[in-house]
Amino acid sequence: MTETSSFTHRSSLSLPPLADAAFVLTDAQRDQVGALAEDLVRVAGGVIDGPEWVAAARTASQRLPRELLTALREFRNDAGPDGVLLIRNLPVQDGLPPTPTRAGSVRRTATVAGAALTAAMLQLGEVIAYRSEKSGALVQDVVPVPGQEEQQSNAGSIRLHMHTENAFHPNRPDYVGLMCVRADPTGDARLCTASVRRAVPLLSGEARRILSEQRFMTEPPPSFGDLGGVTPVHAALQGSPEDPDLVIDFASTHPMDEEARRAMDELYGVLDRVTHALFLTAGDLAVADNRLVVHGRTSFGPRFDGTDRWLHRVYAALDRRRFAVDTRPGDNVLR
Ligand SMILES: O=C(O)CCC(=O)C(=O)O
Ligand SMILES: [Fe+2]
């Protein structure tokens, strides 16, 4: 189905570029974030994946510039029609090392960029990770990996299909933060986002009805095991019929019957028409509301010589009580 669809952003050209709606920090605001991030680099030996560092980052996040705090708070209340908050001119440390090329690369110790990203995400919710993904690290690298070019994962460099982050998981992140520390030198790699709020009005009534029924199944990656026996059958449109959430992954969600397949094809086409493509440069943070937005990436040609595109990724979940069932008490790493 989706494997054969061509990837074009037809009418995305007529949408206002998301970059125009960005929150751009002034240089003084960037330095203010840089100062709190520098402090965090020194806390608890900079060891991110421990309760001490996360607690310090949570406290420090209250010192983010007032205007940024306001933008984050408003985004949390309502992520708007596009469901993405683009924040630009965040600090990135000088002397960035070569882009990693290892599979599963993560940040175990704090950097200025990693700390700034975590602080921003902590104003949206609690930062979380998954034990079976990127070794449970809270700050992860998104980099192309040699030998994994063809994979439908963020280590690949072929087109990454549009997806809800961890669509297969009963406790998905509410927000996905992707911060660029090194832009793609070829200029080709673009983060793609599409909002269910833009898509739903373009869907037929029939497709809306079918997509709202439990007629879809999303496979977990093998590393996640059986997720405690939770059945992965779900509706693609969930919650409010007027303003639904979207749960779908065009690489791993399977329609369970012929009508469901047609509805999913229609959804694919409609999402394609409302897709924004964003070229991220160093210091850009794109936060997607994972209930409203699917995201993916255009294909690009990595060089694996240390100059490739490099993003950091942090997830946030709104409610610690909701994900407690999948963690040990007080922990931020879900099964
Ligand atoms: O590389 C990108 O722009 C997106 C990758 C992605 O989907 C992810 O890391 O969750
Ligand atoms: Fe993703």
* Closest residue by CA, ligand 1 atom 5: 154
* Closest residue by CA, ligand 1 atom 9: 154
Percent of the chain past pLDDT 70, that is, above it, reads 94
How does the average pLDDT of the chain come out, rounded? Answer: 93
Pocket probe mutation, ligand 1, options 18, 106, 142, 179, max atoms within 8 Å of Cβ: 142
Q: Say which ligand is closest to the CA of 157.
A: 1
* pLDDT confidence of residue 229: 66
CB 119 less than 6 A from any atom of ligand 1? no
Average pLDDT of the residues in 60-68: 98
pLDDT tens, residue by residue, 203-248: 999 999 999 999 999 999 877 877 766 667 999 999 999 999 999 9
Cβ(254)–Cβ(217) below 8 Å: yes
Say if residue 182's pLDDT is above 90.
Answer: yes
Pocket probe mutation, ligand 1, options 105, 252, 278, 297, max atoms within 8 Å of Cβ: 297
Query: Ligand 1: distance of its center to the CA of 105 in Å?
Result: 14
* pLDDT confidence of residue 8: 43
CA dihedral 65, 69, 70, 72 (to 10 degrees): 140
Average pLDDT of the residues in 166-195: 97
pLDDT tens, residue by residue, 133-144: 999 999 999 999
Cβ(304)–Cβ(113) below 8 Å: no
DSSP 257-272: SHHHHHHHHHHHHHHH
* Closest residue by CA, ligand 1 atom 8: 154
CB 297 less than 6 A from any atom of ligand 1? yes
Query: Ligand 2: distance of its center to the CA of 154 in Å?
Result: 7
CB 134 less than 6 A from any atom of ligand 1? no
* pLDDT confidence of residue 231: 62
| Lookup: tokens for 207 | 């497709």
CB 313 less than 6 A from any atom of ligand 1? yes
Domains of the chain (ranges, CATH numbers): 15-185+280-334 (3.60.130.10)
CB 101 less than 6 A from any atom of ligand 1? no
Sheet holding 216-218, edge to edge: 233-234, 216-218, 253-255
Average pLDDT of the residues in 101-121: 97
* pLDDT confidence of residue 14: 63
Cβ-in-10-Å burial (0-12, 13-18, 19+) of 95 comes to: exposed
Average pLDDT of the residues in 263-269: 98
Task: Give the span between the Cα atoms of 125 and 247, in whole angstroms.
Answer: 20
51-60 and 112-122 are packed helices; what angle lies between their axes, rounded to 10 degrees?
Answer: 70
3-state secondary structure of 315: strand
| Lookup: tokens for 277 | 């493509």
* pLDDT confidence of residue 2: 38
pLDDT tens, residue by residue, 236-250: 999 999 999 999 999
* pLDDT confidence of residue 15: 73
Query: Ligand 2: distance of its center to the CA of 220 in Å?
Result: 14
Task: Give the span between the Cα atoms of 80 and 63, in whole angstroms.
Answer: 25
Say if residue 16's pLDDT is above 90.
Answer: no
| pTM of the predicted structure, to 2 decimals | 0.95
Q: Say which ligand is closest to the CA of 178.
A: 1
DSSP 167-180: TTSSS--SEEEEEE
Say if residue 255's pLDDT is above 50.
Answer: yes
* pLDDT confidence of residue 329: 87
Lowest-confidence range among 25-39, 176-190, 219-233?
Answer: 219-233
pLDDT tens, residue by residue, 144-166: 999 999 999 999 999 999 999 99
3-state secondary structure of 145: coil
Give the pairing type, strands 310-317 and 175-182: antiparallel
* pLDDT confidence of residue 4: 36
